Structure 1
Amino acid sequence: MTYEQIVLFLLLGLVLAGLMWGKWRYDLVAFGALIVGVVLGVVPADTAFSGFGNDATIIIALVLVVTAGLSRSGAVDLITRHAVSRDRSLPLHISIMGGIGAVFSGFMNNVAALAILMPVDLQAAQKANRSPASSLMPLAFATILGGMLTMIGTPPNIIIAAYRERAMGESFTMFDFTPVGLVCALAGVAFIGLVGWRLIPVRDKGAGAELRAAASYTTELVVTEKSKAKGQRVRDLDGAAEEHDCAIVGLVRRNKRMPGRARWEKIGKGDLLVVHGSAEAISALAGALQVDLQGRSGESAELSSDLKIVEAVVTSDSRVVGRIANDVRVMQRNGVVMLGLSRRGRAITERVRRTPLEVGDVLLLLGHQDAVDDVITRMDCLPVASSVAVTRHEKALAAIGLFAAAVGVGAFGIVPLTVALGAVAVLYVLFDILPVREIYESIEWPVVVLLGSLLPVGMALETSGGTQLMAEGLAVAVEHVPAWVALAAVLVFTMTLSDVLNNAATAVIFAPVAFGLAQIMGVNPDAFLMAVAIGASCAFLTPIGHNNNALIMGPGGYRFGDYWRMGLPLEVIIVLVGVPAIMVFWPL
């Protein structure tokens, strides 16, 4: 072996050890390896930072931006609105949520898909009075499986497509991953919904309570001309309110709250519905009924993408104790609106903004982030949660349409996918779907640094002949077996490595090795690259193999050893269906 090969193998070995150790963040480990490689002369200085301009890195960043826009616009609510029902059996619930999660993660970052659907699943568990542990792991695994459906669904697919373009002059297209990915996803979701969930140990019905224990607010929503509530009686809305875990507790007309709960009153334009529920539930109900949040004048609030909803608690030293919200001038001067009031979980029986505030009340405030922070400080209140973005339900169709158009023009090669997704990000800002600052906040920069750092190291290993050495070693090991056995070995090896490493790092390291092995054996390299893509995405044995696995560990009350119970048979199924599917759609 040459000096460059020896140093690069040692360097990658240290990277793998550092990633598995987990003492330092993975982006720091990868960037440190890049710098050491440059200093030791094994990574060319003039290409050291080329990975940050690589299409794979840029696409991953842009997909995260688009995901944030879809979430902020309420596009997800349009699809998940009917996904939660206490009447569904657990297998049916898991199958429906798993299917939705798989579809979502096919077109958006799979971590974001899980983050969006996890509160829905927790709400369903609460309604059905069961442990969320029964359904959270199936949901997480389904979102991982769905990422294999398209090129943008998961980082390994993006990396494999970029590597193919470098190695063969042409990238995989958007839907080249779909045939094999669809077979694996369907088999995986079917196993999860029918059998897999039964293998999960359930210890505590209270697991995940920390995410469910949100404050219940009383707020007033404005009925507009386009509202679905207009013309109905208050009692007719009970079904929609119950579906979104809210209660409609009154009606305000001409600035006066009607007696009792006004159950038989017909709702008209300009009326205010008095609603009791969590902030998320109220927002979802507002989107379902097409009613608006109340502004300072009592009419619909003027919403923009840079508004935030913040919770604040009234302390014993607060200046607003005994006062009503309409008289707090500091809110009026700063354009901050009190949307709702929570008082020990009880529904407020008076007008929300005319109720004297007490110690321990939790206020739901709407305004620009800086203005809300200033108001909370001046009122001597205490912020109790990070800010929540306002969901712009009226922007949902626009957000979906722009994204679908970008996927279409990218898939048909009209413009490069990077350009199409970049255009969507710009249009999201221009159409006030996503504020400029959230473009940068929505990007998972550690992943960008990881890829930008490891790609030049991987290219150096390839140009030095290191990956060829690894491929030749594997070829010797499998020289007396059929090509399909070698293909299965690549899939299993990549899958095993992905269970302990970041899946993007696994794809970067093993893609050139699989490509070289295919060339030595004289078979179709696309099949072997597809095996790496599938294997790198399927990490089900440990909570550290994929961010989605780690995300559910606390809310589900899982232990480290719980994952393999459903994960091991799932990985076996992926191998059993994945290898034949690859051989059918990408013949050796």
Structure 2
Amino acid sequence: MQSDQLIVFAVLAATLGLFVWNRWRYDIVALGALLVVTLAGIVPPEQAFMGLGHPAVITVAAVLVLSRGLLNSGVVDSLARHLTKVGDKPWVQVLTLTAIVALCSGFMNNVGALALFMPVAVWMSRQSGRSPSYLLMPLAFGSLLGGTLTLIGTPPNIIIAGYRREVGEAPFRMFEFLPVGLAITAAGVLLITVLWRLIPRRENQGSDQELFEISAYLTELKVPAQSKYTRRTLHELIAAGGDEAEVMVIALVREGHYQAMPSIYEVLRDEDVLLVEADSDSLKRFLDVTHLELAAEADSKAEAREKAEQEKQAEKNGDTLAQPDANESKTDRHKERALAEAIVTPGSSLIGTTATGLSLRERYGMNVLAVARQGQRLRQRLGKIRFAAGDILLLQAREDQLPSTLSNLGCLPLASRGLRITAPRQVLLASSIFAVALALIAVGVMPAAIALVGAALAMILVGLVPTGDIYKSIDMSIIVLIAAMLPIGEALETTGGSRLIADALLEIGQSAPPAATVAILMAGVMLLSNVVNNAAAAVLAAPVAISLSRGMEASADPLLMAVAIGASCAFLTPIGHQSNTLVMAPGGYRFGDYWRLGLPLSALVVLVAVPVILWVWPL
């Protein structure tokens, strides 16, 4: 048994190290760890994948589908629309945004709630002339606090509810998390409102509305008469420029008609005008190779010739020439471009690839015009940039296709995202289905997994979640992580590893009151969740909490609740939770910025949560 303990501790140490290193995705690391303990004979092979059928895994998947249904119906959009009217005072904006995202996070996926309100926060910041950094970090922290309100608010709550069975009790119900969750959420939102000035101000993305100054990179080129590229495709023209002349064709103007994002197989004609995006060096090389003309120069020459001919004709006829509006066609050309900013999420298919490698133009009809990373525009060639989580992309696409394309690529729209015009019937239908599920769980008629799967199925049947979006709604990396870590957590218990850790905690807390032991456990799990996924932290800490309760000869409820709160409150680093990661680039934050507000917020959570936990669930 001692050798099994050593193997489990070694695997856990390696797993945590790989989580922190972040070189491989956490679900891949968790699967590798599961494979090792199974091959070592610690987890029986027939039980290795039993986690996929665990109620916690099913519940998390159902909640993700329900979140998509709530977003599609416009339930949360209707709330977001009213936030644009709260005024310009920074503390009012911080308070309102943080509170509303916390409320939404209690009933839907944290990242989904954050994704909806991020564009609102960026828009409000730009309208007020302040940095988005003042609003985005409070928004992320609010989504974490709100997740503690209910059973379905965050995966750690769902996991901990299931672990309660191991001490012979029924799982925690829907609103049993509410007393402590409401206390820390209210206190946390007030603290954030008071201390928002601790958040670093990042001017590079704050008052500056033009993170991407693309106007200096847009140029109109004309295909001259008798060009060798006449009657050849746009693809051949671009290929002729070579890798050294990177030019992005934004639009084609032909005989006064503007065509956004023309097909790369469009056959060119004489006098075609191409709107291209390129830096000065690339543009010069492209012109040298293709012998296209700058449209302004070509037009001025043509206009001069045409004007001279018209004047000669007018002299013969005795007519007076009317002056044309030279800016009309140019305005019409530019006003139809659909540009949008979007952020690459941690689960995006873009990560590690390039725009060229994914053939974004050919497959999705989308141009990547610019890329920013950590608040700075990347100046290297676009075709060579490998996208990373948190990158902000300036995109051009057809407006009607933009939402679905971003969803398929795993990107979230930023300030250019428009709020949908919602149908009251859909809002009412989605709210009713969700409310019925919550009521069934709250009164104990159905287990959470059954009620939530039923609600998800109902939303699918009434069309709130299209069948094509069902599995896109489910973050499989989270599902695999939880399913793989559950057997490892059980192995920690069966080998006596959790008991060993619990004994160490008991020795530390021997000379201290029981409340101190609860606080130490919560703080330890909180620190762990800042470097590993919160679901993994909950799975690893829950067996320790149960062993600790047995050693203290006390109820496991307060210790399990301490684990749930600690695992959900990762405020110190950008890697502790996806919400923190997502706001890093739009806010221009650095790794060390989070602790400034996160440290006092973490301390407040422990100080508020421990007394409330011990009052509601005595030891």
Give me the TM-score of the superposition, normalised by structure 1: 0.72
Give the C-alpha shift of residue 475 in structure 1: 1.5
The answer for the alignment partner of 1:427 in structure 2 is: 458
Match of 1:487 in 2: 518
- Distance apart, 1:176 and its partner CA: 0.7
Q: Which moved more, 1:205-214 or 1:173-182?
A: 205-214
Q: RMSD across aligned C-alpha pairs, in angstroms? A: 3.5
Match of 2:601 in 1: 570
Question: Quick check: 2:492–2:543 contact (8 Å CA) kept in 1?
Answer: no
- The answer as to 2:489 corresponding to 1:458 is yes
The equivalent residue for 1:509 is 540
Question: Contact conserved, 1:123 with 1:212, CA < 8 A, in 2?
Answer: no
User: Does the 8 Å CA contact 1:58/1:418 hold for their aligned counterparts?
Assistant: yes
CA distance 1:409–1:561, shift in 2 (3 Å): same
Q: Write the letter of the residue equivalent to 2:402.
A: S
Q: Is structure 2 residue 101 aligned with structure 1 residue 101?
A: yes
Matches within 5 A, 1:151-166: 151-166=151-166
Describe how 1:384-463 pairs up with structure 2 within 5 A: 384-385=396-397, 387-389=402-404, 391=420, 393-394=422-423, 395-463=426-494
Percent identity reads 43
Change (3 A) 1:166 1:130: same
SS at match of 2:82: coil
- 1:426 is displaced (CA, Å) by 1.8
Letter in 2 for 1:533: A
Task: For 1:205 and 1:139, locate their aligned partners in 2 and report how far apart those are by CA, in whole Å.
Answer: 20
Asked whether the 8 Å contact 2:77–2:116 carries over to 1, the reply is no
Q: Shift of the alpha carbon at 1:101?
A: 0.7
TM-superposition CA deviations, 1:401-455 (whole Å, max 9, x none): 2111111112212222212221222222222211112110111111111101010
> CA separation of 1:51/1:105 partners in 2, compared to 1, >3 Å: closer, same or farther?
same
Q: Please, which runs of 5 or more residues in structure 2 have no aligned partner?
A: 215-247, 263-274, 278-328, 340-360, 369-395, 405-418
CA 1:213/1:403 → structure 2, altered by over 3 Å: closer, same or farther? Answer: farther
Matched residue, 2:181: 181
Amino acid at match of 2:453: G
AA in 1 matched with 2:105: S
Distance in 1 (CA, whole Å) between partners of 2:183 and 2:363 is: 58
SS at match of 1:103: helix
Answering whether residue 108 of structure 2 is matched by residue 135 of structure 1, we say no
- 1:190 paired to 2:166: no
8 Å Cα contact 2:151/2:177 also seen in 1: yes
Question: Do the aligned partners of residues 461 and 83 (structure 1) sit closer, same or farther apart at CA in structure 2, a change above 3 Å counting?
Answer: same
What is residue 73 of structure 1 aligned with on the other side? 73
Give the whole-Å Cα distance in 2 for the aligned partners of 1:380 and 1:439: 24
- 1:119 and 1:381 map into 2 onto residues whose CA distance is 20
Query: 1:150 touches 1:176 (CA, 8 Å); kept in 2?
Result: yes
Letter of the 2:198 counterpart: L
* CA distance in structure 1 between the aligned counterparts of 2:41 and 2:252, rounded to whole angstroms: 62
Residue 168 of structure 2: aligned partner:
168
| Secondary structure, aligned partner of 1:362 | coil
SS of the counterpart of 1:142?
helix
Secondary structure of the residue aligned to 2:83 is coil
**Residue type of the alignment partner of 1:362:** R
Q: Note if 1:200 corresponds to 2:199.
A: yes
Residue 122 of structure 1 contacts residue 208 of structure 1 at CA under 8 Å; is this kept in 2? no
Deviation at 1:35, TM superposition (A): 0.9
Which of 574, 580, 599 is equivalent to 1:543? 574
What residue number does 1:21 align with? 21
Tell me the amino acid that sits aligned with residue 495 of structure 2.
Answer: S
Partner-residue secondary structure (3-state), 2:122: helix
* Map of 1:561 onto structure 2: 592
Q: Is the alpha carbon distance of 1:557 and 1:377 closer, same or farther for their aligned partners in structure 2, counting shifts above 3 Å?
A: closer
Alignment match, 2:559:
528
Alpha-carbon separation, structure 2, partners of 1:513 and 1:381 = 50
Task: State the 1:70 CA deviation.
Answer: 1.0
The one-letter amino acid paired with 1:206 is Q
Alpha-carbon distance in 2 for matches of 1:11, 1:387: 44
- Which residue identity lines up with residue 198 of structure 1 in the other structure? R
Deviations 1:482-508 (A, max 9, x none): 111111111111111111111111100
User: Hey, what's the Cα distance between the residues in 2 that align with 1:476 and 1:436?
Assistant: 54
CA–CA distance in structure 1, aligned partners of residues 569 and 446 of structure 2: 30
User: What CA distance in whole angstroms lies between the structure 2 residues aligned with 1:86 and 1:177?
Assistant: 30
Cα 1:104–1:359, aligned 2, differ >3 Å: closer, same or farther?
closer
> What is the identity, as a one-letter code, of the residue corresponding to 2:14?
L
Mapped partners of 1:317, 1:91: distance in 2? 43
Aligned to 1:362: 337
Q: TM-score, normalised by structure 2?
A: 0.69
> C-alpha offsets along residues 206-231 of structure 1, whole Å, 9 cap, x if unaligned?
3497898799xxxxxxxxxxxxxxxx
Distance 2:526 2:250 in 1: 56
State the partner residue of 2:414: none
How far apart in 2 are the matches of 1:497 and 1:382? Answer: 40
- Larger mean Cα displacement after TM superposition, 396-405 or 483-492: 396-405
Counterpart in 1 of 2:54? 54
Residue in structure 2 matched with residue 232 of structure 1 by the alignment: none
| Structure number with bigger Rg | 2
Task: Determine helix, strand or coil for the equivalent of 1:535.
Answer: helix
CA spacing shift, 1:172–1:320, aligned 2, 3 Å: farther
Residue 355 of structure 1: how far off its partner (Å): 12
Q: Report the 3-state secondary structure (helix = DSSP H, G, I; strand = E; otherwise coil) of the residue aligned with 1:571.
A: helix
When residues 481 and 399 of structure 1 are mapped into structure 2, their CA distance, relative to the original with a 3 A threshold, is: same
CA distance in 2, matches of 1:40, 1:123: 54
Cα deviation for residue 118 of structure 1 reads: 0.6
Tell me the CA shift for residue 15 of structure 1: 0.6
* Aligned equivalents of 2:566, 2:547: Cα separation in 1: 17
Q: Check the 8 A contact 1:132/1:205 in 2, yes or no.
A: no
Q: Structure 2 CA distance, aligned partners of 1:97 and 1:381?
A: 32
Aligned AA (1:47)? Q
- Cα separation, 2, equivalents of 1:153 and 1:380: 36
How much has 1:168 moved relative to structure 2? 2.3
Distance 1:209 1:441 in 2: 35
Distance change in 2, residues 1:41/1:198 (3 Å): same
2:42 aligns with 42
Q: Is 1:519 the counterpart of 2:550 in the alignment?
A: yes
1:497 aligns with 2:531: no
Letter of the structure 2 residue corresponding to residue 8 of structure 1: V
Change (3 A) 1:94 1:35: same
CA shift in 2, pair 1:356/1:139, >3 Å:
closer
In 1, Cα distance between equivalents of 2:364 and 2:59: 44
User: Deviation string for 1:185-243 (max 9, x for gaps)?
Assistant: 1110000012x21111103063497898799xxxxxxxxxxxxxxxxxxxxxxxxxxxx
**CA-CA distance at 1:380 after TM superposition:** 9.0
How far apart in 2 are the matches of 1:512 and 1:12?
A: 14
